[in-house]
Amino acid sequence: MRVLLTGGAGFIGSNLVRHILHERPTWEVTNLDLLTYAGNLANLEEVEKNPRYRFVHGDICDGALVRALLEGQDLVLNLAAESHVDRSIQSAAPFIRTNVSGTHVLLDAAQELGVTRFLQVSTDEVYGELPWVDPEDPPEDPPRFTEETGLDPRSPYSASKAAADLLVRSYHTTHGSDVVIVRGSNNYGPRQHPEKLIPLMVTQALGGNPLPVYGDGLNVRDWIHVEDFSRGILAAVERGRPGEIYNFGGDAERTNLQVVRAILCALGLPEDLLTFVVDRPGHDRRYGMDFSKATKELEWRPRWSFEKGLADTVGWYKKNRGWWGKHP
């Protein structure tokens, strides 16, 4: 299997590159990444000399480059994306360019060159928000996102991802392209850029700085370890049905406040480091993923508990100050 994987120097992408090379010994991976602020080749030092891996510095919006790289490839894994909601509020343009226009370039080239399968990595944020429930005292059957939930994006980031998803599915309907879409809940784990919630709070705490929590801290997210999501992506590649969408979650709904307090507890630090700040615009109140379709069709379930995954992640950041200290 020859794979063009875009965005492979990012958090999820680099984990997926390492996972593929370890778990699929006959696969060859070409990693196309523009190396924007969130891309980090240090994430891939251990595979740089692997003969089944090559890195190409480039832009998925560059049609000529994309077509040249797709010659002879069997699979596209599109993970290239601008992904931070706060940045999309400040300026939506980079998100439209990469997440929508870049996906269009990849789809056109893949269809033109007869690439066997196109997998689009999306997000639970395209669904909007769910009614709030207390993760510590949930009702018997709380509402969660299914693959049939309507799209209702509420930030420029999630709107750009929803647009890309619709474009991907249109290529299946219109051109018969073999496409699969995977939507993951909030990923976490080692090597995540410090702008994201968990690494931000860990690195702030390790520096003895205040931990800024939006609003009342009761926004709920479903956390999935990045290794579990990588497993899900490969399951969708190998067993997913053409034109289908698959949700992946960690079965780990937590309020932001619960997450931050757990981080402080893991580090043995006092809660007076918590600082509540003005909430961001359009902050979705709750996400929760129903991943029963992935369990039934792909034989996938998360393996990491949130408690074990968070402890492992906090430990990694404690041991790797040199890595996160270099990030802008």
Q: What is the mean pLDDT of the chain?
A: 97
**Buried residues in 120-158 as b, exposed as e (16+ CB within 10 A):** bbbbbbbbbbbeebebeeeeeebebbebebeeebbbbbb
Q: For 181-220, write each residue's pLDDT tens digit.
A: 999 999 999 999 999 999 999 999 999 999 999 999 999 9
Beta bridge partners of 248: 184
pTM listed for this prediction: 0.97
CA atoms within 13 A on the CB side of 33: 26
Q: Is-catalytic flag, 124? A: yes
In contact, 181 and 246? CB cutoff 8 Å: yes
- Say which of 125, 129, 227, 284 is annotated catalytic: 125
Residue in 33, 53, 127, 157 annotated catalytic: 157
Is 157 in the active site? Answer: yes
Which of helix, strand or coil describes residue 307? helix
Domain ranges of the chain: 2-192+224-250+288-303
pLDDT of residue 325: 76
Classify 2-192+224-250+288-303 by CATH class.
alpha beta
Over the stretch 49-72, which tens digit does the pLDDT of each residue have?
999 999 999 999 999 999 999 999
Spell out the alpha helix ranges (H) of the chain: 11-23, 63-70, 85-90, 93-95, 103-113, 156-175, 197-206, 226-239, 256-267, 292-298, 306-319, 321-324
Q: Which of 33, 124, 178, 284 is catalytic?
A: 124
